[in-house]
Every structure is written in C-alpha cells, then in structure tokens.
C-alpha cells in the first residue's frame, strides 16, 4: 500500500489495447484505475457497463479509464465480446491483464480472504501522476460510478479554484452547489471573513463556484 498524495508506482502492463507504461503514458491526463475480482461475474459486468456509459463524461474532464483483474488478456477480450453481444455495450477503455498478479500485489489490490482475487479498488491519479483518491469495496458490493466521477470533478475544481468541496457536492444539504473557502490562518483574516463571504462562522465560509 501507498498513501494518498504519493507518486503512482511506475509499472508496465499488458492490456486489451496493448502494452502501457503507467503513469508515464497518462502524463498530463487524469486517470481512474479500477480493479474487479474476475471476468464473467455479474457485479463486475454491471460496473463495466456503468463505467462505459459514463465514459463520455470522464472524457470531458480529460480523464481516462483503465480496468484490471487477475485474468489473461484473451479472457478480457471474450468477456468484452460477450458484453457487446448480450448487453449491447461496447467496452472502449483498456483492461489490464494481470494474470500473474504482480500489478495487483504492487497496488495492494489482493483480497486477503479471497485467494488471488482482487478487491474492487479505485485509484484516481492526477496529471502529475499523484494518487489523489483511493476507494476500496468488497466483492459483494458494486461501486457507485457517479461518485467516482464526482470525485474527479471535485478534485479538479478544488485544484483550479483553491477551494474545498462539501459532502454530496454539487447538492449539499447546507450550501447546495457552493464551495467552501479555506479556513483563515490568522486573526486578522478571520475577522474579515464574515464581511467577505457568506459564513456560518469565520471558519465555515462558502461562495458560489
């Protein structure tokens, strides 16, 4: 395992789109790397369809999608063919074939109680190759892809505007689609805050995006 805020490890991977070097090949782009326990499994199939249907929204954010499981590349390809034939959805993002498990082990994706299966891990990586978010889900719980999309969008807004993002943004219970102004770091700034922004108190001020 490696913590949020550290460099994504340099790895060469074999995918359904050919060999890739991460994070080098994604330099200048955001990317979401997500693992699934295995091909030809129901929950994973629903996730792949959900990721694909939201791929245009990720693309608008300059964010690429990359899947991974401990299966061989031919298994990935046949599963993609099955999804297209049976469900009418063509999977367009690359899927890493980690049949030796080395990538999953490097990234801490191995489920401790499920043999060699990978957990439902998600890594959101920024254009500098820095890991910004890590999500982990058990095998029995499918992911909310909209939350992953929201996380990418929220990070980009935070980076660009120097603000913090409230819970459930852009539909927060307290401030709706507004964003949070970073807390004051000195007494003088704290005193001025209520006159500059809408505030619940000097340490909790917010503004329109």
Q: Which CATH superfamily is domain 162-209 in?
A: Antioxidant, Horf6; Chain A, domain2 (3.30.1020.10)
| Predicted structure pTM score | 0.93
Instruction: Tell me which residue has tokens 């979401």.
Output: 32
Domain ranges of the chain: 11-143, 162-209
Architecture of domain 11-143: 3-Layer(aba) Sandwich (3.40)
Tokens of 161: 């505007």
E strand or H helix at 12, and its extent?
strand 11-15
Segment 194-200 shows an average pLDDT of 95
Beta strands in 44-139 (DSSP E): 63-69, 95-97, 120-125, 131-137
| Beta carbons of 16 and 110 less than 8 angstroms apart | no
**Sorting pLDDT into bands at 50, 70 and 90, what band is 139?**
confident
Average pLDDT score over residue span 37-66: 97
44 as an active site residue: the answer is yes
Cβ neighbours of 164 (radius 10 Å):
15
Q: Please give the pLDDT value at position 100.
A: 74
Q: Which of 44, 100, 199, 205 is an active site residue? A: 44
Look at the chain and count its residues. 209
């Amino acid at each position: 395992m490696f913590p949020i805020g550290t460099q994504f490890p340099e790895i060469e991977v074999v995918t359904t789109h050919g060999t890739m070097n991460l994070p080098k090949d994604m330099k200048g782009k955001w990317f979401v790397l997500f693992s699934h326990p295995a091909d030809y499994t129901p929950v994973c199939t629903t996730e792949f369809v959900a990721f694909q249907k939201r791929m245009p929204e990720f693309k608008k954010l300059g964010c690429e999608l990359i899947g991974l499981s401990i299966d061989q590349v031919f298994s990935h390809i046949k599963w993609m063919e099955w999804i297209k034939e049976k469900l009418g959805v063509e999977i367009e993002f690359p899927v890493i074939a980690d049949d030796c498990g080395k990538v999953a082990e490097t990234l801490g994706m191995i489920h401790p109680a499920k043999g060699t299966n990978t957990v439902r891990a998600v890594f959101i990586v920024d254009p500098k190759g820095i890991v910004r978010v890590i999500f982990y889900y058990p095998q029995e719980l499918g992911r909310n892809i909209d939350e992953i999309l929201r996380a990418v969008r929220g990070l980009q807004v935070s980076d660009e505007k120097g603000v913090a993002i409230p819970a459930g943004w852009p539909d927060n219970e307290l401030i709706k689609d507004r964003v949070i102004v970073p807390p004051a770091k000195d007494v003088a700034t704290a005193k001025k805050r209520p006159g500059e922004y809408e505030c619940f108190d000097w340490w909790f001020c917010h503004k329109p995006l």
